[in-house]
Structure 1
Amino acid sequence: MDAVVATITMTAARRRLKFRYSYWRIAHSVLAIVIVSSSATHALLTDGVMGEASKLAVAIMALATTTFAAFEINVLTPARARQGKQQSR
């Protein structure tokens, strides 16, 4: 829950705190991974309708998707942009 509050606060105050967009994007991605991993852990520890194997599979897919999205946004996209600038010179 703290990560959700931190994300909301950081997003609302980004301009006032004068965060550079690149730093904000990285911090936002880290908090997103924390939120998804906390949610997955909670789901795995809760007894309910789903079986253990299906809960584990959903948790792994959610973590993998979130981690890939953070990697894509913070590493691959800037690398492609730098490569495009170098080729246009």
Structure 2
Amino acid sequence: MRRNPRLAAICAWGAVLLALGLPVALAATSPWLSYRNPAYVIASFAGIGALALMLLQPLLAAGYLPGPGLARARCWHRWLGAGIVLGTALHVGGLFLTSPDDTLDALLLVAPTPFSVYGVTAMWAILATGLLVLLRRRLGLTLPVWRMAHNALALVAVLATIIHALQIEGTMEPLSKWALCVGVLAASLFTLFDLRLRRPLLRWRGRQPNP
């Protein structure tokens, strides 16, 4: 039976868009939003959007998704990375407008809520990742060193964001939130394993002479 590449591509992108869009759509129906001000609503969906984009980021970086090709996929990866930084800024800014004292306590790591620590950790890791991309040439890092730093910061951002999101009982619907977080974690860990271990090992084996 012949495989239809176009149908496979539609199914792959459809599954990814469903995984991204369903948690956002369910969050839009949350009763928590009915008595919240606009700043809080914007902050909530900026955070949800940033989490959702973290699912797409490793898939683009590794070129797993059909259609765009690796070069274009990595270009999209950079643009979506900027989107995550912007979403993080909107998330923190909206929360500050809603509750300045609570937000400052969280930023100063004196808030009584455990999820605040992970949220601030994720924020700084995301900002550091963005700065690392912007300052790549000025820092003078070799490509392997830069990739290692980029991957390490991104992994910290992913882990801290997931823990932060799972500890909050708020706008997101619980089951879809868990599914999205598991998907983000699985995609991130598999991509790191594939790009930094499996593929280099295969290339190294390919250079070895036959016994």
Q: TM-score, normalised by structure 2?
A: 0.38
* 1:23 to partner: Cα distance: 1.4
SS of 1:19's partner is: coil
Asked if 1:50 is matched to 2:163, the reply is: no
CA deviation digits over 1:22-76, x for unaligned, max 9?
111121111111111122122212222412x442232122112101111111111
Q: Structure 1 42/21 Cα, relative in aligned 2: closer, same or farther at 3 Å?
A: same
Higher Cα radius of gyration: 2
Equivalence for 2:188: 66
**Pairwise CA RMSD:** 1.9
Larger displacement relative to structure 2 (4-13 or 40-49): 40-49
Equivalence for 2:158: 36
| Amino acid in structure 1 at the alignment position of 2:147 | R
Q: Is the 8 A contact 1:7 1:31 kept in 2?
A: yes
Q: Which portions of structure 1, spanning 4 or more consecutive aligned residues, are displaced by more than 3 angstroms? A: none
Q: Is the 8 A contact 1:25 1:74 kept in 2?
A: no
Counterparts of 1:28 and 1:81 in 2: how far apart (Å)?
Answer: 22
Equivalence for 2:145: 23
Counterparts of 1:87 and 1:32 in 2: how far apart (Å)?
Answer: 36
Q: TM-score, normalised by structure 1?
A: 0.80
Structure 1 gaps of 5+ residues are: none
| Amino acid in structure 2 at the alignment position of 1:25 | R
Count how many residue pairs are aligned between Structure 1 and Structure 2: 87
Structure 2 gaps of 5+ residues are: 1-122
Counterparts of 2:172 and 2:130 in 1: how far apart (Å)?
Answer: 31
Percent identity over paired residues: 33
* 1:87 to partner: Cα distance: 4.0
Equivalence for 2:59: none
SS of 1:48's partner is: coil
Counterparts of 1:12 and 1:79 in 2: how far apart (Å)?
Answer: 30
Q: Is the 8 A contact 1:3 1:35 kept in 2?
A: yes
Counterparts of 1:55 and 1:49 in 2: how far apart (Å)?
Answer: 6
| Amino acid in structure 2 at the alignment position of 1:30 | A
